[in-house]
Amino acid sequence: MADSFQVMAGAMAPSTSGSVDASIAMMIDDHFKALMQRQDEQLQQMQNQYLADLIAALQNK
């Protein structure tokens, strides 16, 4: 009897594996986009610092 109840409960449960996969993919994509944006911002900061250092070095000559 317990087996038949589990089968019936399983049949009534909504199938969410596809939506879970899509949600996980979207979450990974969002994290990747945020990571790339932070990396771009850090690169811009480094370039600005290098440029400032170069200008300072040239002005001291």
Q: Which two tokens stand for residue 61?
A: 């000559």
Confidence check: pLDDT of 50 > 80:
yes
**CA-CA distances (angstroms) from residue 59 to 4, 28, 53, 54?**
84, 46, 10, 9
pLDDT over 70 for what percent of the chain? 77
pLDDT, one tens digit per residue, over 5-29 is: 676 666 666 655 678 889 999 999 9
Query: Which H/E stretch holds residue 36?
Result: helix 17-59
Confidence check: pLDDT of 31 > 70:
yes
Cα torsion through 7, 9, 13, 15, rounded to 10: -10
Average of per-residue pLDDT values in the chain: 87
Q: Which two tokens stand for residue 28?
A: 């990974």
Residue ranges of domains in the chain: 17-59
